Amino acid sequence: MTEPPWAQRPPRRFATGSVVLGAVVGVVGTVAVPILLGLVASVAGPLGIAFGLLVPVTVLAALVLGIVLASTPGSPQRRGFGLGLVIGWGLLLLLAGGLCIALIAGYSGG
Amino acid sequence: MAPVLVQEHAALVHGLCVAAGIAAGAAVLALEVRRRGAADERLLVVVAGVVVGGALGMRAAGLVRLVQAGDASLLVQAWETGAKSVLGGLCGAYVGALVGKRLAGYPHRTGALFAPAVALGLAVGRVGCFLTEPVGQPTDLPWALRGAHPSFLYEIAFHATALVVLLALRDRLADPADLLVGYLTAYALFRLWVETTRTNDVLVVGLTGSQWVVLLALPLLLARCTRIRLAPREPQEPRHQEAVA
């Protein structure tokens, strides 16, 4: 026997586990990727400038990618991961944004 | 110069205390959502709005001050050293919650869920400020700390007391979401006073920037407070007369 329409639960939009995973990746990625790029920039010679220019872009990458993943049609896992990225980016800014930028600046400076 | 208790690794100590505050607040939020049976995946979007809005507001409030100074190098310094503002964070989080609710189509008020979480989060997070920022204006009061007002201890005590009051009142208001309005109003009034014990720069007319922000917000908060009502008491059930039975 099928449930009447009013008794059916709305489809899930966000998988909770994916939100947590996305938040962790958002925090770690927002720290790690710019630092790695900064390191590459410091040893890549003339090409280093290009990598260096990417550093500020990657600081915002988790936020932009998260918004795109969470707001476009997709599976609950994909949307949840995107929402987690947004939360992770915000958490990082709350926690240690200043510290991270200092680290990035330090590594980028070689 | 006002004393600072922890000077080495200050950014790390401050960051760890803020992290502990966020973790404690998140735990209380989760418990309150569960206790009220308010679990709804759309709340995740609201939380995302609160986190991002709070983070941007917290940073923006500090940056505005430096933009006025007109020195770009100060902006970089602001990122490195913090330039964080609790008032900016609260304003940003409030706007973020509204945006999150609109985006997710969440129709309910969320003040009852967030008020105890914010109070505990700020009480814990302010420990970082107490340890790593100038403690306060000079004073010769008996409880002075190295000759200065322990202004952040005042604030920790305020938020801890507020948490107890919020927990006591959380089922006694006609609209439990008004808990947040009452808490923010009380904090605004408290902040107006506690700024006089802190070392923040005076902006104009003898008041700090935070005091001006509070003065702008206070009329709105007080007006909103006039609509707070206690829940009507439920009629007591007549006592079962066992003797009759």
Whether residue B52 and residue A12 make contact (CB cut-off 8 A), yes or no, is no
Whether residue B82 and residue A90 make contact (CB cut-off 8 A), yes or no, is no
Whether residue B79 and residue A19 make contact (CB cut-off 8 A), yes or no, is no
Residue A2 has pLDDT above 70, yes or no: no
B→A contacts (Cβ < 8 Å), by residue, are 11-12, 15, 18-19, 22, 41-42, 44-45, 47-48, 51-56, 58-59, 76, 78-83, 89
Minimum mean pLDDT among A23-32, B4-13, B207-216: which range?
A: B4-13
**Per-residue confidence (pLDDT) for residue A96, from 0 to 100:** 66
Q: Is B61 within 8 Å of B85 (Cβ atoms)?
A: yes
Whether residue B15 and residue A99 make contact (CB cut-off 8 A), yes or no, is yes
B56 to chain A nearest CA, in Å? Answer: 8
Residue of chain A with shortest Cα separation from B53: A90
**Per-residue confidence (pLDDT) for residue B191, from 0 to 100:** 94
In chain B, where the domains are located? 109-226
Whether residue B15 and residue A96 make contact (CB cut-off 8 A), yes or no, is yes
**Per-residue confidence (pLDDT) for residue B244, from 0 to 100:** 47
B245 or A68, higher pLDDT: A68
Three-state secondary structure string covering chain A: CCCCHHHCCCCCCCCHHHHHHHHHHHHHHHHHHHHHHHHHHHHCHHHHHHHHHHHHHHHHHHHHHHHHHHHCCCCHHHHHHHHHHHHHHHHHHHHHHHHHHHHHHHHHCC
In chain A, where the domains are located? 15-107
Which candidate from B18, B44, B83 shows the least CB-CB separation from A83? Answer: B44
Closest CA to B171 of B112, B211, B124, B114: B112
Task: Identify the three-state secondary structure at position B144.
Answer: coil
The contacts of residue B15 (CB under 8 Å, 6+ apart) are: A95, A96, A99, B128
Q: What is the mean pLDDT of chain B?
A: 86
Minimum mean pLDDT among A16-30, A36-50, B20-34: which range?
A: A36-50
Residue A108 has pLDDT above 60, yes or no: no
Q: With contacts defined as CB-CB under 8 Å, which chain A residues touch B53?
A: 90
A101 to chain B nearest CA, in Å? Answer: 6
Which candidate from A19, A83, A101 shows the least CB-CB separation from B80? Answer: A101
Q: What is the mean pLDDT of residues B201-217?
A: 87
Q: Is A40 within 8 Å of A103 (Cβ atoms)?
A: no
Could you tell me how far CA B216 lies from the centroid of its own chain? 17
Name the strand (E) or helix (H) holding B138. Answer: none
Residue A23 has pLDDT above 80, yes or no: yes
What is the rounded distance in angstroms from the CA atom of residue A15 to the CA atom of residue B243? 57
Q: What is the mean pLDDT of residues A9-22?
A: 85
A17 or A58, higher pLDDT: A17
Over the stretch A45-56, which tens digit does the pLDDT of each residue have?
777 777 777 777
Over the stretch B146-182, which tens digit does the pLDDT of each residue have?
889 999 999 999 999 999 999 999 989 999 999 999 9
Q: Would you say the C-alpha torsion B3, B190, B119, B212 has a positive or negative sign?
A: negative
The contacts of residue A44 (CB under 8 Å, 6+ apart) are: A51
Please tell me the pTM assigned to this model.
Answer: 0.83
Over the stretch B90-109, which tens digit does the pLDDT of each residue have?
999 999 999 999 999 999 99
Alpha helices in chain B (DSSP H): 10-35, 42-69, 72-81, 86-104, 111-132, 151-169, 178-194, 209-225
- Alpha carbon distance, N-terminus to C-terminus of chain B: 78
**Per-residue confidence (pLDDT) for residue A46, from 0 to 100:** 73
